[in-house]
Amino acid sequence: MRRRTGRSSKGKAGRVPQPGLALRYSRTATEDELLRLAEYAVRETDLEIKLELLWTFKKVRFPLDEQFIFELTESDNEAIRDVAFEMLQHLPSDRIHGYAINLIKQKKELANDHDRRWDHHCRRRSC
């Protein structure tokens, strides 16, 4: 049986989230401990450490502002995004739907803004 060494295939040192440990912690942690863990996760700037801290919240509700979870879904880091989408399962569906509707509105607004700028550009240049 192979053991994980925490090194990637390129030889770079890296942390490997320990899902078994996170799962056990999510079952035994008190509300205060989960709250403290969530606060650490929000403040953490190292994405590998943040990922390890957030792993627990794949199994239990994130006790802080859900806006943080929505922001994580837009992360450039794929692993962070994946965990964030799993964290969403603990939110009420109306909040998830509201977030999705807001995203659609934002994208539509951006598209309309782009179209307006393009039209303005074409009028000035006689496209």
CB neighbours (10 Å) of residue 38?
A: 21
Length of the chain measured in residues: 127
Are 36 and 86 part of one and the same domain?
yes
Tens of pLDDT along 64-114?
A: 988 999 999 999 999 999 999 999 999 888 888 888 898 899 888 888 887
Are 67 and 104 part of one and the same domain?
no
Number of domains present in the structure of the chain: 2
What is the pTM for the complete model shown? 0.62
Q: Is the pLDDT of residue 49 over 50?
A: yes
In a 3-state reduction of DSSP, which class is residue 13?
strand
- The range of the structural domain enclosing residue 118 comes to 92-127
Tens of pLDDT along 4-34?
A: 444 444 444 455 555 666 667 777 888 999 9
pLDDT at 122: 76
In a 3-state reduction of DSSP, which class is residue 30?
coil
Assigned token pair, 63: 């006790």
